[in-house]
Amino acid sequence: MTPDLLQPVSVLKGVGDETASVLTEMGIRTIEDLLEYFPYRYEDYRLRDLAEVQHDERVTVEGKVHSEPSLAYYGKKKSRLTFRLLVGRYLISVICFNRPYYKKQLSINQIVTVSGKWDKNRQTITLQDLSFSTHESKQDLEPVYTVKGSLTMKQLRKHMVNALREFGSQVPENLPEQIRHTYKLMQKAEAVKTVHLPLSHEELKHARRRFVYEEFLLFQLKMQALRKVQRELSKGITHEFSEEALNGFIQTLPFTLTDAQSKVLEEIIADMKSPYRMNRLLQGDVGSGKTVVAAISMYAAIVSGYQSALMVPTEILAEQHANSLSSLFEPLHLKVALLTSSVKGKRRRELLERLSKGDIHIMVGTHALIQDEVNFQRLGLVITDEQHRFGVGQRRVLREKGESPDVLFMTATPIPRTLAITAFGEMDVSVIDQLPAGRKTIETYWVKHNLLDRILGFVDKEVKKGRQAYVICPLIEESEKLDVQNAIDVHAMLVHSFSPAWNVGLMHGRLHPNEKEAVMREFSENKTQILVSTTVVEVGVNVPNATIMVIYDAERFGLSQLHQLRGRVGRGSEQSYCILLADPKSETGKERMKIMTETNDGFVLSEKDLELRGPGDFFGKKQSGLPEFRVADMVHDYRALETARADAAKLIYSGAFWKDPEYERLRKYLESTGVLEGEKLD
Ligand code: ADP
Ligand code: MG
């Protein structure tokens, strides 16, 4: 440790009580804090050739004063000074507001450096900054910091320079020499100095690269350590079952597994057989066959003498899963049961009784599964579907119902790899990246809203053939009330168009859960042919007879969300269609609609989505689970993220890391995070 850096900022010359208290408000108490307070951007004072500068861009040029400055006053204190400046072969004008004193300081043929906004049409710079010297004495890149209260940018820069001069060389290195050498990373002390006083863009990039790597490495060390500790602390179940038993079950399926399904199954089986507790995320696009993989895993748990639980976010989904699992397991005399909040009274008591006696092998349910009164006799495997819909806490409660059951999270939202290893960094990830053969792709069209009548004609034609349609209403994120109102309006419009020939259902978030169930049931039984809905229909609903999806204002949705919605159709044997109604204004908007019509691959779309919208928006506002990086950018620096992840895993599992002095600072860091005691990050 270097105690000097831990001294309060007030040891700096010029930092008095007032400044110190403003700095404290900004989160800066010590010299170290100050040095780690990075600029959020840089003012660029590099000289540029005016021919290359865009209109309205900020520019710095050096030139020779070519005319006597003329000064005009207007209003009370306002003034305007203009002069001509010869910059290379250009003769331009410089306008300078409210700085009349320059008139006396400027003279013809004087060399000055001028920064300001370039008006290309008028060949004029509106001056922001003037220096009476040639450019050489000036810094090209000036850091811009967030400042608060009475502290000015100029003062902060001055304190920073002082701090760097006195303490800069003491900034300790925390990356091991060997890693720094391999990636040619700058020393930390040098990088800190560069960030505050960059001499060139090149150098700044170099410094930034170091901090990006460091940030990712520290984060991934935390994740990998957590993963290791969680494995070692939690003695899991060593499931015992034979391959023959499992293969026998797989033979009974009406199809052969895809290669991708077999691969992830192997990963899951290996986890279940190991003494560690499984903590695995299973990703696979809609229809990729996750449920079957889940069923086989549950069968394995049963053979080894344990019960399994499957938790899903809605009652209707729970029912669907319970039905399909029953038809799979009942011929084998295995018991599948359903627990939701609708199961009440005596039936509920009996069910819970049977569960605690081990009479039920597979329990499917909603949140109801995590209530106190629910006790398993011997829970060995917990699977949650659409895991991002459940809070972390809820997942943990279910996990704690058994001794130490294996846990598998399934999600149909393809998560770009860079986010997956960040948000779920402490988990193992399996991906089903292939659909069963023979699937028809959903034909997707992008049309403007003014063609709505023709679209409705198309819907009518399909419904006449016996099919059904979803109509998804625009999403108004700021207001659930407006969302609902929209759905009501669209519903009224469609009732007007289709009644009495067809029945039109209405689904939105303000309905009571029982009402939602009823609406969904009517649709799945084809009592309503057309279902108008907000996005609540997004999750896992399975109505194979529905072949059309019309999405209003499609440009407002994220690509991944559109893909999820689209996955509600194309679940039967008939050709399905998705129609995106959208009049996007921006080029990215148009690009997004085009991509939707071009690919059915959820992973391609999710990568694209991340690229176009950034990581913050990817998971939606509610539960992002993403860490904030100070310098690094998950999207653009993903290669560094991958590298850091691999390095972190190697370090954590190497003996040297836990004892050699060169890793001491990294070890100290890990100790300070609490992960070594198995503390969960959420
Ligand atoms: P997911 O849960 O990933 O959306 P499901 O497991 O519900 O997908 O599978 C979708 C449909 O595909 C189901 O009807 C299922 O029976 C079928 N299916 C699953 N795996 C295969 C396969 N290997 N070959 C053919 N059909 C399959
Ligand atoms: Mg599913």
pLDDT at 578: 96
pLDDT at 621: 41
Per-chain residues with Cβ under 5 A from ion ligand 2? 291
Per-residue model confidence as pLDDT tens digits over 566-589: 988 988 888 999 999 999 988 888
Confidence band, pLDDT 50/70/90 cuts, at residue 440: confident
pLDDT at 94: 95
Confidence band, pLDDT 50/70/90 cuts, at residue 466: very high
pLDDT at 395 over 70: no
Per-residue model confidence as pLDDT tens digits over 524-541: 899 999 999 987 765 556
Per-residue pLDDT, averaged over 433-441, amounts to 83
Q: How far apart are the first and last CA of the chain?
A: 29
Question: What is the percent of the chain where pLDDT is above 70?
Answer: 91
Residue of 265, 291, 440 to test ligand 1 pocket, by largest number of atoms within 8 Å of CB:
291
Whether the CB-CB separation of 56 and 118 falls below 8 Å is answered with yes
Tokens 């700058």 -> residue: 186
The mean predicted confidence, pLDDT, of the chain is 87
Confidence band, pLDDT 50/70/90 cuts, at residue 475: low
pLDDT at 206: 93
Question: What is the percent of the chain where pLDDT is above 90?
Answer: 52
pLDDT at 492 over 50: yes
pLDDT at 394: 61
The reply to whether ligand 1 has any atom less than 6 angstroms from the CB of 250 is: no
* 3-state secondary structure (DSSP) of residue 335: coil
The reply to whether ligand 1 has any atom less than 6 angstroms from the CB of 296 is: no
Per-residue pLDDT, averaged over 331-357, amounts to 93
Tell me which amino acid residue 410 is.
M
Confidence band, pLDDT 50/70/90 cuts, at residue 679: low
Whether the CB-CB separation of 497 and 456 falls below 8 Å is answered with yes
Say if residue 60 is exposed, middle or buried (CB neighbours under 10 Å; 0-12, 13-18, 19+).
buried
For CA atoms 668, 669, 672, 678, the dihedral sign is: negative
Task: List strand residue ranges (DSSP E) for 357-484, in order.
Answer: 362-365, 379-385, 406-411, 428-432, 443-447, 468-472
Whether the CB-CB separation of 419 and 603 falls below 8 Å is answered with no
Q: Is the N-terminal amide bond of 500 cis, ω within 30° of 0? A: yes
Per-residue pLDDT, averaged over 242-246, amounts to 91
Task: List strand residue ranges (DSSP E) for 508-600, in order.
Answer: 530-533, 546-551, 577-581
With residue 338 as reference, give the H or E element that holds it.
strand 336-339
pLDDT at 429 over 60: yes
Measure the CA–CA gap between 659 and 667, rounded to whole angstroms: 9
Per-residue model confidence as pLDDT tens digits over 91-133: 999 999 999 999 999 999 999 989 899 999 999 999 988 887 7
Pick the ligand that lies closest to the CA of residue 290.
Answer: 1
The reply to whether ligand 1 has any atom less than 6 angstroms from the CB of 436 is: yes
What are phi and psi for residue 660, nearest 5 degrees?
-70, 140
Per-residue model confidence as pLDDT tens digits over 584-620: 988 888 989 999 999 988 888 888 887 776 665 555 4
Say if residue 52 is exposed, middle or buried (CB neighbours under 10 Å; 0-12, 13-18, 19+).
exposed
Q: Give me the sheet containing 546-551, strands edge to edge.
A: 443-447, 577-581, 546-551, 468-472, 530-533, 504-507
Measure the CA–CA gap between 605 and 611, rounded to whole angstroms: 10
Per-residue pLDDT, averaged over 123-151, amounts to 82
pLDDT at 1 over 50: no
Q: Which residue did the predictor score with more confidence, 634 or 175?
A: 175
pLDDT at 630 over 60: yes
What is the residue with the minimal CA distance to atom 26 of ligand 1?
436
Tell me which amino acid residue 365 is.
G
What is the residue with the minimal CA distance to atom 18 of ligand 1?
289
pLDDT at 511: 84
Per-residue model confidence as pLDDT tens digits over 206-234: 999 999 999 999 988 988 888 888 777 77
The reply to whether ligand 1 has any atom less than 6 angstroms from the CB of 113 is: no
Rounded to 10°, the helix 290-303/315-329 angle is: 60
CA 539–ligand 2 middle distance (angstroms): 9
The reply to whether ligand 1 has any atom less than 6 angstroms from the CB of 321 is: no
